[in-house]
Structure 1
Amino acid sequence: MSSPFQTPQEFLEVKGPLYTFANNPFWLILFLVISVVIFFWFIFASYKINGSKSTPANPAMMSILLLTSFLSLAQSAYISGTNKIENYKQRNKSEVLLRKRTTILSRRLTNRNKLVSSGYHSRFSDRSKTIRRS
């Protein structure tokens, strides 16, 4: 096959997409014809499949096949279920921590507001000033 590059250095210095067969259209046409032939062969072969009688399956082999399929399905369901549970626990844990923080913060703010509204805070600050003066 041919290459559009004369040296490896030219290959390494290429900017943009590489068109390997761009300088020789024969290969492009050949690959296109091969692809079209394969495509039509698959279409034609799908209509020529003969349906023959199948032999009865061995019951032991069928039960092993069904068992392995069921175990695979059960494992995937179990793993996805445990992942959902872990995700829920993580999300719930972060929500609980956030709720605790917000309730602690809101309690502190309401206690300050109660102190300020009752005048205790201002009276306490006045007492501290008078104590410092004397």
Structure 2
Amino acid sequence: MANLGIFPALGPTRDQFDNYAVLNAVNPDPLLGYAHGPIPNNNPGWKPAAYTAAVAAGNVRYDIKAADIAATPPPNQAVVLNKENTGVCDIVVNPPAQMCGMVFSEGPALRRHIRNEHSGAIVNPSRRSKTQPEIIAG
């Protein structure tokens, strides 16, 4: 949430974003991954074997788990997503740049959406807290 000067103690200020370092930041960051979109999906339409088996057995509401993706990885390299939760799914659904755009108030809901709808797009993020470099990078 951007601080517009109304509540000075809340969040970053506009001055912290209107600078060369932020405007020209590399995306994806070589260590932390994508901070914002468009985020490519190198495996469009791919689903893990557990999902296809469940659907074939008649379970049309199967939630894909991180372990399902780990058990049968996608054919192409998935990308890394920064742990900063923007709340918006920025994965490309119509190349070159049309993004999904679904909005989520919580990180777990966003990750669940990505696993179910864009299964092979990103490397499953760990549940660990953000590291110091991730906190500094924002």
Give the shorter-chain TM-score range: under 0.3
Larger radius of gyration: 1
- Higher relative CO (CA 8 A, sep ≥ 6), structure 1 or 2? 2
